[in-house]
Each structure stands twice: as C-alpha cells, then as structure tokens.
Amino acid sequence: MIRSRSWKIPIQVMLDIDAFRKHVPVVTVAEYLQLHGLPETLETDDGHWDLEAYHFNCSITPPSLAVIPNYDYDRDLHGIARVDRLPGQLIEAPHKGSPEWKVYRGLLGLLGRQITLDAEVARSFLRQHTDEDWQSASEMGEIASKYGFAVVYTYNGQ
C-alpha cells in the first residue's frame, strides 16, 4: 500500500519508455527475450536479471555481460519503492472525524518512515480495528481505497 497523494510524500518515479527512447537506446527484458529467441515466460517476476536463463539459453551466441553494481546507480534506496505500476486514479484521504479517518491514521502510524506497507501488516491491523478483510486483489484494492490508500506491487527485496 502507498500513502495517498493528499499527504506530502516522496515522488514515485516510473520511466516512460517511449519518451526515453527518443534520447537513448532502450530494450526491455521482454524485447531482449524476443530478440534472443527466448520465451517471455522466462522473465523473472521480482525484477532481477537471471543470468543463467537470459544468457545461457539463447538460440544465438550469448551476449557479453558487464554488471553495474546496484550501489553505482541506486546509492540510496531509502525512501524509494520500486513498483510495477502506479495506481490509475487519485486516492483521496477519508474525511477528518469519520470512522475511516481513524483507520487511515492508524495505518499511517504503521508506515512510520516506510513508503509502503506490507499487505499482511495492513490486513492484521484491519482485522483488529474493523470487520473488513479481503479475499481477492480487487477486494483489497477497494478496502485500501476506502481508507485512503492504493495497492501497489513492489519487487521483492525493494
């Protein structure tokens, strides 16, 4: 979950690949796999570069590889959450004084200095303070929105 835009928070950044390509050459992992005759199903779901799957299963000569350590381009990941995609709509905070406002403030308290809140932490809090729980991702999104949050999918370990 991510805080609503009604609070001042660090900006989440996503790249507009088409705009980026106007300035520098860019190949996505899916395009890389296609160019090397590999099935798209090899793409990892946690965002890491799978050396064995991507390089040693090629139908052509494997490309050379130069590794840039994460620290060289992401020196301070504190305060940045890498997400799959941003929410499509603005999520408003509940009205002050409403029952939802109290839950919203409680969830904010759980965030502390974090940017995102683990879904199971939010679920546990909601079970203790409301009668709400979710059975699906869409239900989780509806409940999160009710309390001023949006569901985002982050890469493991980020």
Q: Give Dmax over CA atoms of the chain in angstroms.
A: 64
pLDDT per residue as tens digits for the range 47-97: 778 888 888 777 677 777 777 776 665 555 556 666 777 777 788 889 999
Judged against a pLDDT cut of 70, whether residue 12 lies above it is answered with: no
Q: Is residue 6 very low, low, confident or very high in pLDDT (cuts 50, 70, 90)?
A: very low
pLDDT per residue as tens digits for the range 125-135: 999 999 899 99
Indicate if the alpha-carbon torsion angle 73, 157, 47, 58 is positive or negative: positive
Q: Report residue 51: phi and psi, to 5°.
A: -55, -50
Q: How far is CA 38 from the centre of its chain?
A: 26
Judged against a pLDDT cut of 80, whether residue 142 lies above it is answered with: yes
Q: Report residue 150: phi and psi, to 5°.
A: -125, 150
Question: Around Cβ 107, how many Cβ atoms within 10 Å?
Answer: 21
- Of 48, 54, 13, the C-alpha closest to 31 is 54
pLDDT per residue as tens digits for the range 27-42: 888 888 888 888 888 8
Distance between CA atoms of 142 and 69, rounded to whole angstroms?
39
Domain ranges across the chain: 17-73
